[in-house]
A and B are shown apart, each in its own frame.
Chain A
Amino acid sequence: MINFPILSSIILLPSIGAFFIFFVKANKSKYQSNKYVALFISLANFLLSLYLWYIFDKTSTDFQFVENREWIPGLINYKVGVDGISILFIILTTFITPLCVISVNSTIENRLKDFLIAILLMETLMIGVFCSLDLIIFYLFFEGGLIPMFLIIGIWGGQRRVYSAFKFFLYTLLGSVLMLIAIISIYWMTGTTDVEKLYEIGLETKYQNLLWLAFFSSFAVKTPMWPVHTWLPDAHVEAPTAGSVLLAAILLKMAGYGFIRFSLGLFPSASDYFIPLIFLLSLIAIIYTSLVALMQEDMKKLIAYSSVAHMGFVTLGIFTMTQQGISGSIFQMISHGLVSAALFFSVGVIYERMHTRLINHYGGIVSVMPKYSIVLMIFVLGAIGLPGTSGFIGEFLILLSAFQKSFLVAAIASFGVILAAAYMLWLYKRVIFGKLINENLKNILDLKKSEIIILWSLAIPIIFFGFYPDPLISTTEVSINNLLKIYNSNLEVNLTNSSYE
């Protein structure tokens, strides 16, 4: 069992499924069976990744299940491996994907087959991002994800889908090409793109700032940080439900993961140098986008802006450079992955019935959709970060570590929590409570079986991790400590070097 390439299997399994679906003839009657194939594959992958978590050694600081093969001789090795930081994101990905597959039932009417292929390919690429331990392999997966996502938004999206798809693609590509230059420069400076080796070698201080900025340009667009967040509301609003879910739950996490793995690990002195910049941008994101969210008429847009605000907490937490902060950020990302996915699914549920996302078209749903109102309450509370939901733990840890760094920053960020409560509760109030004015709403059906499965399978972990966060925290603990050790030792070397100069 030791030599079994489990990580590569997890990465490749979805694409094998996609390949299989591609070659099955597209009869009308076979559409359903395609869906079952996709569901089976993605569930199998989820189980496989749970097994990975089970056999994962939480006490080890090394990367585990490492596979290292020569790919382009003398240049790039195909190297994948996981540590406590990345394994959670892999499980998040494999968990969300089957839910997306279940949800396509009614939202995607035409070209179901193509959609399933796109989602499965997306899964491969997303897992690849979190596994890769070589910068170029990382870049390949990171960029490759643009193709299926572009198609998901563009083919199955709403009215302004073309504009949004282009904006998404070009923004992300523009950010990433600079990262490619930085990666190649690192290769020529050190002779390797292997992340583990780079942690050991460390990069010279004088280049770090530029390299950091190049990586930052890519991650900032993907996170998204203010002021390059504008693609996100467009992409979210126009994408189909499953697309929005993948975007919010997983794609945004790639950047947060990238900050932790690459910015902190590879460029410690630059990360240290740019802390004020990150804090400033994070605070603007938290406050400004929360205010913008308050004013939204469109539910999806509101959630999209709240995502920007939540990701602001994540970047804030990462750059406190403390055990608690990073741990909180990872927790917040996982939690936001669950909550935002759940919120987008919930919006999808009523959008499918009413074909409108505008808040003022709803109201008083509680009397016709009681089951729906209960789950939505859980998700809204999760988004606010109420104690007892997973949202609380992350934000609490982040704010705790922010207070250690700077009182002012933490105080402003806490203000964001209040704003979050304001816009989420107001949203809930306007949609669920009030008088049932809209005539069409009276005939609206409550949750179907498939929707109950999706929503409750998201609600349970949100509550579970709110009360018992230990499985997540303990998984990440050793790896974060190790990362901080590398960070601090490299930082010290860099500082002494620069003082000699």
Chain B
Amino acid sequence: MNNLNLIFPEIFISLSLMTLLILGVFKKNSAALVYNLSIVTLLILLALIFNLTSANESYLFNQSYKIDALSTFMKMLTVGSGILVMFSSSKYLKFIKIFKIEYPILILSAILGMMVMISSNDLIVFYLGLEIQAMSLYVLTSFNRENIFSTESGIKFFVLSALSSGLLLYGCSLIYGFSGTTNFNLISENNLFEAKYGITFGIVFILVGLSFKISAVPFHMWAPDVYQGSPTSVTLFFAILPKIAALAVFIRFLYVPFVNLIDQWQPIIIFLSIASMVFGSVAAIGQKNLKRLAAYSSIGHMGYALAGLAVGTNTGIQSSIVYITIYAVMNVALFSCLLMMRRNEYYYENIEDLSGLSKNHPILSFSLLIILFSLAGIPPLAGFFAKFYIFLAVIEKSMYWLAIIGLLSTVVAAFYYLRIIKVIYFDQLKEKYDTNHQIGLKVTLLISTIFILLYFIYPSVLTNIVLGINII
């Protein structure tokens, strides 16, 4: 029975998810009720997971499910950003008329899938979680079904995601075939000091599938279209939560069963990292749509997170986790600003719509200023520290080229962030936007901006937690 405590959060979210579904079906006009209840569910869930932080590292279900510092932290991060997403988007959903009961339920089920992914210690459990998550995301992407872009992006995402899932499954089967088990611990016990071709192929296929999920170059093609087409609140969800979950799986998958094969996978991760950093920063330069730009910028950011993983040390893993945390906060802040660009019931999402924003909305534009400089990684904002930890870990292992390419691409990336700041601060004034935003949105923006701005005062708040995560 003691063991069940450890997956109580998962049980709780599954049960409340089903209850809410039944409630929504049988009670008419209950969209708002279900929405609020699911926020409450997430808050309780956060408390439940927090309760587990003191738990020792332990396994469940024949070692196929693992609760440790990594999984608790990543779950809290997932649920926490989920709460912020829900907080900030209810009014948006009402305005574009997709405020329906399915929406919060799909979000909850996606979060459930991610929690399973994060804790998985077995290829099958991992795949199970991945599919729960992906199914919910397909529907969420095309949730605005009367909008042609939304449906298009749903189809696109579905087709490509299914393809990548197929590759991933193929990789799983190869690994199973050559090692005789799907369990991460057992794979690592099965003496894998000598690389077998089948294992290497398996790793490659699984990495391809995972890179697709975090949109690392060259498996990023879906990201810009899906980001642009989906409803903004879903894009926000997309930009953060699946990446946190996938990164956790990356860590677990690379460093538990295949840590001895680091020679095999390290070049792949380095390649993915460099390609994402360079491509993410160069391709974003020409973008006009903010959501599309956010897609390219998140591709670049994933490159940095992968650079931390490529190092092969605990410091590297920890730096990646710090990176993804700060990345999550920055994206919440950025998208909250996007959700505020509403005028006469229409949401604007082009860069030039921000023109002269600083005169009408000084506080909003000041927040954007901080967020964008932070995304560009300029000290003393949080984004700088995120990059700093990554490069600290990278240079420890003397991977100078990775560091130099990474830092040079931050300079390129700085250009397009500056361009947005230029539009906000230097360009001609346009009409005012509406200011009657919901409180949740304002609070979300406030919290995240203050976090970014004042992170430098006490940077160890995050690092101290992350230092407890030792995988190797």
Interface, chain A (partner B; CB < 8 A): 26, 71-73, 75, 136, 139-140, 143-144, 146-147, 150-151, 154-155, 161-162, 165-166, 169-170, 173-174, 177-178, 180-181, 184-185, 187-188
Chain B 401-456 interface residues, beta-carbon cutoff 8 Å to A: 403-404, 407-408, 410-411, 414-415, 418, 421-422, 425-426, 456
B267 interfacial contact with A, CB 8 Å: no
* Chain A residues whose CB sits within 8 angstroms of the CB of B408 once the complex forms: 174, 177
Q: Interface residues, chain B, CB within 8 Å of chain A?
A: 362, 369, 373, 378-380, 384, 388, 391-392, 395-396, 400, 403-404, 407-408, 410-411, 414-415, 418, 421-422, 425-426, 456, 459-460, 463-464
A147→B395 contact, CB < 8 A: no
Contact A170/B380 with A71-B459, A72-B459 known, Cβ cut-off 8 Å = no
Across-interface contacts of B421 in A (CB, < 8 A): 150, 154
14 contacts between A and B (CB under 8 A): A72-B459, A140-B380, A143-B379, A155-B426, A174-B408, A177-B407, A178-B404, A180-B388, A181-B395, A184-B392, A184-B395, A184-B403, A185-B400, A187-B392
- Identify A180's interface contact among B407, B414, B422, B456, CB under 8 A: B407
Main secondary structure of the interface of B (DSSP, over half): helix
Q: What is the distance, in angstroms, from A170's C-beta to the closest C-beta of chain B?
A: 6
Q: Are A147 and B378 in contact (CB under 8 A)?
A: yes
Known: A154-B425, A161-B426. A177 touches B380 (CB 8 A): no
Contact between A181 and B460, CB atoms less than 8 A apart: no
Given the complex of chains A and B, what is the CA–CA distance between A187 and B388 in angstroms?
12
Set of chain B residues within 8 Å of A178, measured between Cβ atoms: 404, 407
B residues in contact with A26, CB < 8 Å: 362
- Rank and list the top 3 A-B pairs by shortest CB-CB distance, nearest first: A177-B407, A140-B379, A184-B395
Picked from A140, A146, A154, the residue with its CB within 8 Å of the CB of B456 is A140
- Name the B residues within 8 Å of A169 (CB-CB): 414, 418
In the assembled complex, the CB of A472 is this many whole angstroms from the nearest CB of chain B, namely 31
A72 to B460, CA, bound (A): 6
A348 to chain B, nearest CB (A): 21
Q: Is the CB of B411 within 8 A of A143?
A: no
Contact yes or no, B379 A144, CB < 8 A: yes
CA distance A155 to B424 in the complex (A): 10
A166 touches B415 (CB 8 A): yes
Partner of A147, one of B362, B373, B392, B422: B373
| A177 partner residues in chain B, CB cutoff 8 A | 407-408, 410-411
State in angstroms the CA–CA spacing of A26 and B366 once bound together: 15
Task: List residues of chain A with CB within 8 A of the CB of B388.
Answer: 136, 180
Chain B nearest CB: distance from A64 CB in Å?
A: 25
Residues of B within 8 A of A187 (CB): 392
- Complex Cα–Cα for A498 and B401 (A): 27
Residue of B whose beta carbon sits closest to that of A214? B404
In the complex, which residues of chain A have a beta carbon less than 8 angstroms from the beta carbon of B392? 75, 184, 187
Known: A166-B415, A178-B407, A180-B407. A185 touches B395 (CB 8 A): yes
Please indicate the chain A residues that have their CB under 8 angstroms from the CB of B403 in the complex. Answer: 181, 184
Task: Decide: A181 and B391 in contact? CB cutoff 8 A.
Answer: yes
Q: A169 CA to B426 CA in the complex, in Å?
A: 15
Assess whether A174 is in contact with B411, with CB atoms less than 8 Å apart: yes
CB distance from A6 to the nearest CB of B (A): 20
Name 5 extra pairs, CB < 8 A, besides A155-B425, A181-B407. A72-B459, A139-B379, A143-B384, A170-B415, A185-B395
Interface centre among B408, B456, B460 (most CB of A within 10 A): B460
Residue of A whose beta carbon sits closest to that of B395:
A184
| Complex Cα spacing A188 to B391, Å | 11
User: Is B411 a contact partner of A73 (Cβ separation < 8 A)?
Assistant: no
Closest beta carbon of chain B to A108's beta carbon, Å:
15
Partner of B463, one of A72, A150, A185: A72
- A128's nearest neighbour on chain B, judged by CB, is B380
Query: Who on chain A is nearest to B373 by CB?
Result: A147
> Once bound together, how far apart are the Cα atoms of A155 and B379, in whole Å?
21
Query: Quick one: which of A72, A151, A180 contacts B391, CB cutoff 8 A?
Result: A180
A165 to B427, CA, bound (A): 13
Which of A139, A146, A154, A180 is most buried by chain B, counting CB atoms within 10 A of its CB? A180
CB distance from A146 to the nearest CB of B (A): 6
Complex contacts, A144 vs chain B, CB 8 Å: 378-380
Closest to B422 in A: A162
Counting chain A CB atoms within 10 Å of each CB, the highest count among B379, B392, B426 belongs to: B379
CA distance A169 to B415 in the complex (A): 9
